[in-house]
Amino acid sequence: MAHQLNITTEAFKTAPPALVSLLHAGGMTPSSWVTLLTLAYLVLQIGLLVPRYLARWRAWRAQRRQS
């Protein structure tokens, strides 16, 4: 069991550099990485915030109708 855990740990340690090497070999420059990561971050933030704001707006609207 310990040997299997060691293999898994080493595989996780190797994955990020291997991914960077693969992307670089595919033609992505560091500026492309930054752009891609920024866009992914924006999409995640929008996806998380929009439902929260919609729920608040609906609650405010329902409260206002009751008054």
Domain ranges of the chain: 2-66
End-to-end CA distance of the chain: 64
Rounded to whole angstroms, what are the CA distances from 43 to 18, 26, 32, 39, 46?
A: 25, 24, 17, 6, 5
pLDDT computed for residue 1 by the predictor: 54
Give the percent of the chain with pLDDT over 70. 96
Q: What's at 32, amino acid-wise?
A: S
Are 50 and 60 in contact, with CB atoms under 8 Å apart? no
Mean pLDDT of the chain: 85
Categorize the per-residue pLDDT at 43 as very low, low, confident or very high, splitting at 50, 70 and 90. Answer: very high
Residue 29 has pLDDT above 90, yes or no: no
